[in-house]
């Protein structure tokens, strides 16, 4: 239960920072700079689509704008966390916001993407996103520096998924 709460940025609810999860929490700044960089990748489609549609009157534009805004917000908080990865409120906000954005993206894909190739492509990427994230976490627990490669890949795959979703929403609005 502790691990699950921590995974969603809510570990502070049950335990203090003396918990074993937090005591073993160490990140190398030489490694996390690459994760901070890769955090910007999913903000790029968010900025693109927000700028493209911010003043466009259309009923299906609002979901594009909301998802784009969440991508940008998640990027900012993720970069802020990974620039100096430590246990605390920045990590909690990053974990919570990233889960919200991922969920909203999934819901947008379900309800606002009708173009089947993009819908299928998005769902096809999800297992690879999950694998990259889980294996990155596993390698982190093993103190294996290769975790960075998998987390970097995770961020790239999230950006690709966001592009698929936003493009699918854009096609749907026409």
Domain assignment present for residue 78? The answer is yes
pLDDT at 129 over 60: yes
SS3 call for 146: coil
Q: Dig out the tokens for 152 from the structure.
A: 């970097």
- What is the pTM for the complete model shown? 0.87
Domain assignment present for residue 88? The answer is yes
Q: What is the mean pLDDT of residues 15-37?
A: 70
Q: Tell me which residue of 162, 163, 12 sits closest to 95, measured CA to CA.
A: 12
**Rounded distance, CA 85 to CA 65, Å?**
29
Domain assignment present for residue 37? The answer is yes
Residues 6+ apart with CB under 8 A from 49: 64, 65, 67, 68, 166, 170
pLDDT, tens digit, for every residue of 54-103?
A: 988 877 789 999 999 999 999 999 999 999 888 888 988 999 999 999 99
What pLDDT does residue 27 have? 76
Domain assignment present for residue 13? The answer is no
Give the max Cα distance, the chain. 54
Buried b / exposed e over 134-164, threshold 16 CB at 10 Å, is ebbbebbeeeeeebbbbbbbbbebbbbbbbb
Q: What is the mean pLDDT of residues 14-19?
A: 54
Structural domain including 118 reads 28-173
Structural domains counted in the chain: 1
26 or 35, which is more confident? 35
């Amino acid at each position: 239960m502790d691990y699950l709460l921590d995974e969603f940025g809510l570990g502070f609810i049950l335990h203090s920072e003396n918990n074993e999860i937090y005591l073993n929490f160490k990140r190398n700044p030489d490694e996390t700079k690459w994760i901070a960089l890769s955090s910007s990748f999913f903000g790029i489609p968010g900025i693109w689509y927000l700028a493209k549609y911010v003043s466009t009157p259309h009923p299906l534009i609002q979901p594009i704008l909301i998802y784009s805004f969440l991508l940008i917000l998640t990027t900012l908080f993720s970069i802020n966390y990974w620039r100096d990865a430590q246990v605390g409120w920045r990590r909690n906000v990053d974990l919570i916001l990233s889960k919200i954005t991922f969920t909203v993206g999934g819901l947008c894909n379900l309800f606002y993407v009708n173009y089947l190739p993009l819908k299928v492509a998005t769902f096809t990427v999800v297992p690879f996103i999950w694998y990259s994230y889980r294996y990155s976490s596993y390698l982190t627990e093993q103190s294996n520096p290769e975790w960075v490669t998998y987390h970097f890949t995770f961020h790239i795959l999230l950006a690709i998924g966001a592009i698929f979703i936003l493009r699918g929403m854009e096609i749907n609005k026409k």
